[in-house]
Structure 1
């Protein structure tokens, strides 16, 4: 289904403007994405707000000024797969970004959540979407995730990661870095999985909770 969430941006290659990953604007100066999405210099990326209702034909963009990966990020295991982007948003009105998306609670997270992304609609199509899509997922325990994915693919308990599964709905290529919203707050960032939308097979997300203090300190120091 189509998603209505203007703060979910498309992280693009600044030269080709090809979509690479998702990102979420936390404020006029910071966006949140997955660390594995940003492996190059800052001038190689631009954020495009495809879902922002603008009067012109071209969606507004944000310049990436700095990439700050989590200090515990491990590119091999994908543990702590999260990064903050310091941005310059080229919009005169930023009041719509004043509401905080960060959660006030992170313990006992369960139930249904909504994932947003511009990624592949079909795993074999190889085409990302300019329109934001949304899907409903269910949070699963790390034990249930390990039973489904196996001990090597599933995240460790100390990795800052979590798992979620959908009924024919899943994150896919191009959705990495996009948000998982639960009860109106961003509780996770799409990280990785095995294929897309395989029945009963969870995908792995970076949990915002264990990284909340790090995120807030960066935003407070700005």
Structure 2
């Protein structure tokens, strides 16, 4: 089993954009965050769930050469500090398509756990409607600005009925996804792949915002609880094949 511990709090510092209308994160509570880079550019977020495994979204690494993928961990600044580690293997869900089964695991060249890098456990149950999980990332400040924020931003959102997302998207939203939105907080490109956290556990993976800044519209997260068996099975395969 993947075991870890972490305390996550929302500490509101000075206002910023990144996670749309988020705040600069207190990194001491987000030490499991990873910045996933492809071909020398920040692509997505991720969460360290074991000493050499990062959980992220399939859209971030699907059809990308492994040799071009790295992660930076142990710093709130995606351009300075921490450690840059090569990814040497990855697993993308075999049935990934659009937002369905949007989940992947990255195998790191070496263990990363330290005082500055922790792992976070996985959810053991699905979050309930009207609960308030938190998110964090280095996403774009505005849609199609193609400029990510340098310092890690975090925010808070609210779990909503799946029917709300289904109505907005005009298509079914099943148990593999979580529907969330709250006031003026939103996820943007660059935040995708990052964790949605509740009660110090990863409950979701950011996979789709609504235009980055349309915060009154719901966003989608992969439901981690729904994929626990897949995560465990594929993490074990990565460990055995190291």
Q: TM-score range by the shorter chain?
A: 0.7 to 0.9
Give the whole-Å Cα distance in 2 for the aligned partners of 1:171 and 1:196: 6
Moved over 4 A (4+): 95-100
Q: TM-score, normalised by structure 1?
A: 0.85
Aligned runs of 1:39-118 on 2, under 5 Å? 39=62, 40-49=64-73, 51=75, 58-74=81-97, 77-89=98-110, 91=112, 94=114, 100-106=120-126, 108=128, 110-118=130-138
1:36 correspondence with 2:53:
no
Paired residues, number: 210
Give the whole-Å Cα distance in 2 for the aligned partners of 1:167 and 1:108: 18
From 173, 183, 193, give the equivalent of 1:156: 173
Give the whole-Å Cα distance in 1 for the aligned partners of 2:37 and 2:119: 25
Equivalent pair of 1:26/1:97 in contact (CA under 8 Å): no
Give the whole-Å Cα distance in 2 for the aligned partners of 1:136 and 1:195: 18
Shift in CA distance, 146/2, structure 1 to aligned 2, threshold 3 Å = same
From 162, 182, 186, give the equivalent of 1:166: 182
Which blocks of at least 5 consecutive residues in structure 1 are unaligned? none
From 10, 27, 35, give the equivalent of 1:10: 35
From 13, 19, 42, give the equivalent of 1:19: 42
* Structure with more relative contact order (C-alpha pairs < 8 Å, separation 6 or more): 2
Equivalent pair of 1:61/1:89 in contact (CA under 8 Å): no
Give the whole-Å Cα distance in 2 for the aligned partners of 1:30 and 1:174: 20
Structure 1 residue 7 displacement after superposition: 1.4
Deviations 1:110-155 (A, max 9, x none): 41010111001233543102211101000111112222x2323xx5
Equivalent pair of 1:50/1:131 in contact (CA under 8 Å): no
Give the whole-Å Cα distance in 2 for the aligned partners of 1:118 and 1:188: 17
Which blocks of at least 5 consecutive residues in structure 2 are unaligned? 1-22
Deviations 1:7-40 (A, max 9, x none): 11111124xx221111111111110110011031
Structure 1 residue 99 displacement after superposition: 5.3
